[in-house]
Amino acid sequence: MRTVDEHLTHILGSVSVLPPLDLALLEAHGTVLAEPVAAPVPLPPFDNSAMDGYAVVAADVAGASEAEPVTLPVVGDILAGDPGVSAIRPGLTARIMTGAPLPAGADAVIPVEWTDGGNATVQITRPAPSGNYIRRAGEDVLAGQVVLDAGVRLGAAQIGMAAAVGRARVVVRPRPRVVVLSTGTELRPPGSSLGTGEIWDSNSFMLTAAVTEAGGVGYRQDTVTDEPAKVLETLHDQLVRADAIVTSGGVSMGTRDVVKEVLTGTGTVEFHKVRMRPGKPQGFGLLEGVPVFTLPGNPVSAYVSFQVFVRPALRAMQGLPPEPLPTVSAVLGEDVRSPAGLRHFVRGRLAFSRGHYTVSPAEVQGSHQLGSLASANALITLAEDAEALPAGSHVEVMRLPS
Ligand SMILES: Nc1nc2c(c(=O)[nH]1)N[C@H]1C(S)=C(S)[C@@H](COP(=O)(O)OP(=O)(O)OC[C@H]3O[C@@H](n4cnc5c(N)ncnc54)[C@H](O)[C@@H]3O)O[C@H]1N2
Ligand code: MOO
């Protein structure tokens, strides 16, 4: 028997970060940068106005008030992208819009609300210090500054930042392509009718969705019956397009545990019992260099195994730290028992109130009981040495992707 940590360490020691790929910016959404992105020019590139108003010499309006407005001639309009006036002299003003370049000679912007909004001349009713409502070149980003580090996942804000520094393409770690295959003669695709002893395949859909949630691209395969030759042929066919393969079912002690049968001794694949519940029977290894995760068939076991072993590996392949799901500390809402010597992943509902998290275990915890997983939002992680935890204890809780 292996511990969870031993099995995960073995897996992480066997997977490598994927080679980098040059992608158009929007195609890179959700991937991880493989290069730092630096600004070729400062941002903003030029001093510009933060308000719609009038560009002035601050000294000209120092005495302005409601009672005694300062009147200035307006020499022209400066629009964003269409700077009609490039300079003003003392005693003059130009109308300026937000984002338009500040004309040389001006050192303040008077918002239109502080004026009568005049066209040929304008009356200004408030003074402004030098620098008023001016956005200086480089006050966001300096020329040459690294704005995104290698290893950062490109969410919407990071995509915006890359575009803002002029990048149309970026070099990233691609999303791992993960083939998902369920085995089991009893499995029928959802949407078809069931014969005696048959069930609808849930694992391949669930695991393909979990791959997406972990930043990969899932390729769900049609289920394969428990025939060794078919399972092996399907796996070999899929190797060419896979950065990883995830199977479910056929890894336990049955007479037809076909995945275990065909993969034992193939490549570096090994099967182990892992000290955890659910998810005891596990297999992992490389097949022609491709990591293959053989997860147990019980749906909750397959799901928990994915989050505990596959998700960290997919993160490592993307160049991300192989962290588990985001974890919080919570107070147990009721007493919990846990099997000695096993790490126990208990489905529960996490809630936040009066400044702290509380978590309550689901009523049923069988590894075939997908209903209690679908209504859970968290997995309470009970350590191997925990046997009885009273209500009020602090526990670690992994938040499930939502
Ligand atoms: N004698 C023993 N029997 C079992 C042991 C054991 O140690 N000794 N371990 C049990 C545990 S724990 C688990 S977990 C399961 C794992 O079994 P397999 O990986 O071989 O999975 P199957 O036998 O193929 O299926 C188990 C169960 O899950 C259902 N299943 C399978 N695939 C799907 C799918 N794609 N969608 C929905 N449901 C699926 C299948 O019908 C079975 O009910 O072994 C225990 N037995
Ligand atoms: O490990 Mo099994 O996953 O307990 O049902």
Contact residues of ligand 1, CB 6 A cut-off: 182, 184, 186-187, 199, 201-204, 248-254, 257, 278, 280-281, 296-299, 301, 367-368
Lowest mean pLDDT among 115-124, 252-261, 278-287: 252-261
How does strand 276-277 pair with strand 343-353?
parallel
Which pLDDT does position 130 carry in this prediction?
Answer: 98
Q: Is residue 322 part of a domain?
A: no
Are residues 330 and 394 in contact, defined by beta-carbon separation less than 8 angstroms?
A: yes
Give the position of tokens 């989050």: 307
| Residue of the CA atom closest to atom 31 of ligand 1 | 297
pLDDT reported for residue 72: 98
Q: Which two tokens stand for residue 11?
A: 């897996």
CATH number at residue 29: 3.90.105.10
State residue 395's pLDDT score.
Answer: 98
CATH number at residue 219: 3.40.980.10
Residue 97 has a pLDDT of 98
**Whole-angstrom distance between the N-terminal and C-terminal Cα of the chain?**
33
Is pLDDT of 253 > 90?
A: no
Instruction: Kindly report the CATH number assigned to the domain that includes residue 375.
Output: 2.40.340.10
Strand, helix or coil for residue 286: strand
Q: Whose CA is nearest to atom 30 of ligand 1?
A: 297
How far is ligand 2, taken at its centre, from the CA of residue 300, in Å? 8
Name the domain count of the chain.
4
Quick one: 98 and 38 in the same domain? no
ipTM computed for the complex: 0.98
Nearest-CA neighbor of 189 among 211, 231, 221, 162?
221
Report how far ligand 2's centroid is from the alpha carbon of 331 (Å): 26
- Rounded to an integer, the average pLDDT of 68-80 is 97
Banded pLDDT at 402 (limits 50, 70, 90): confident
Pairing status of strand 177-182 against strand 244-248: parallel
Same domain, 34 and 162: yes
pLDDT of residue 314: 98
Domain membership of residue 111 (yes or no) is: yes
**What distance in angstroms lies between residue 136's CA and the mean position of ligand 1's atoms?**
64
Assess whether 231 and 252 both reside in one domain. yes
34 within 8 A of 150, measured Cβ to Cβ: yes
Given a cut of 90, whether residue 256 has pLDDT beyond it is no
Range of the domain at 38: 21-43+139-173
